[in-house]
Copies of this chain bind each other. A is one copy, B any other.
Amino acid sequence: MPSDPSSGGPTAGAAAPERPAVDDAFLSALLDTPQDHEERPRGFVAVGDGSDADFRYLTGIAGVDRPSAFVRLVNERVVCPPVGAADIAARQFDGRVATARSGEPPGQRAAAVLKEASDRRPDGADVVLTPATIPHDAALYLERAGYELRSTAAVREARATKTGGEISAIGAVQDAAVAAVRRGASVLAAASAADDELRWEGGALTAERLRRAVDAELVRQGVQPGGRTVVTAGPSAQPEVPGGGRSDADAAVRVAEPVRIDVAPHGPHGYHGALSRTFVVDSDGGWERRAYVAVESALDAALGEIAPGVTISEVRREADAEVTAFGFDPGGEGTGPGDAVHGVGLTPRERPRSGGETVEPGSVVAVTPRVSDPDYGSVALGGLVAVREDGIDRLGEATWSFSPRPAE
């Protein structure tokens, strides 16, 4: 019986719109640190909108789609929203709201807020800290107001270490991801085969239909698929390439070919999950069975490697060595959606991510070893771990078999 996606269902923690607490004490520390000439910076300025993860992290503001400035003084948090967004900002922001005048660019407003604060703290230098990627026009407004800009990666770095509240938020999204991939497995289990092609509920079971079933379950769980659910089946599958495998998304899934489901949904608070599973209906125990054992073993090896101070490269190498030991090609190191090991948080892929970046207590990391072969298809297995001083916690974990089983 088809389950209805909107009937009841758990009101998962993932659905809670509350924003997990983050701590921006790192900015106070930064502003109390003397720069050149023993002078402390006047403040920190970032400019973004509700879709910008750094801005959302700093302000908690979502849903304002014109750029605002965030100004952090040593003892005060100020946000400068555009006219008309003052109410929303006041509701969502913990600090002072200094609304821009009509048409006033956020960089100009930020400069005014800094000037106003100068009287209260005349000992500071005219240095202002910003992310390197602050919009150029905002940087020019600050420079014209007499400030010298220094770039800082402090926000990006702070985001890499999650608080307990952030880890809980990610864990709740991951629970929704588990339910959705289980739904995919139960659709596969319920499918019947005709001439080696799977049929389900009166029609061919295509990768596209399976993707929609998985997305519907994500929605039922109160999280957003975000357009990142990828279902690929058969030899031509290229899940690492956006749109890869879509060319045959409307062809029926076949018996004995690997069906890979990758999801990376996010909750109302903006935090993401990441889960990959591969199923085979009536496997004949060939390539896909060996590939599955290889990625399962690679996942175990990679998870065993994760500990504070270990680099992303080291974790990847551990997974790759295992895949190679089973006689498969692990492929090159990806830096796109193909990243096998990367941090997860307010964005689906974030620090630690580059090879030399290290896993630390508070890191939440996706580990997804996979094996692809144009003659057979793609097999992947992966999920999320939260790193502690003395170990790791697997988030939303579930042990599943290779063959899809009906939902309990």
Contacts and interface: CB of A to CB of B under 8 A. Distances in A.
A219 B209 contact: no
A347 B151 contact: no
Contacts of A3: 4
Contact of A2 (B7, B132, B202, B241): B7
B8 A201 contact: yes
Interface string A188-220: 000000000000111100001110111110111
B208 A65 contact: no
Q: This chain: how many copies in the complex?
A: 2
Interface string A117-137: 000000000000010111111
Nearest to A136: B139
Interface in A58-97: 62-67, 82-85, 87-88, 91-92
Given A4-B4, A8-B209, A83-B335, A219 B227 contact: no
A218 B202 CA distance: 21
Nearest to A270: B227
A213 B5 contact: yes
Interface string A345-387: 0011100000000000000000000000000000000000000
A154 to B, nearest CB: 15
Interface string A221-246: 01011110000000000000111101
Given A2-B4, A83-B335, 15 more contacts: A4-B201, A5-B216, A62-B242, A65-B336, A65-B348, A66-B336, A84-B332, A91-B241, A130-B136, A135-B135, A136-B138, A136-B149, A208-B222, A226-B226, A227-B268
14 contacts: A3-B4, A4-B5, A5-B216, A6-B213, A9-B212, A63-B337, A65-B347, A67-B133, A84-B333, A133-B135, A212-B219, A219-B225, A224-B224, A224-B226
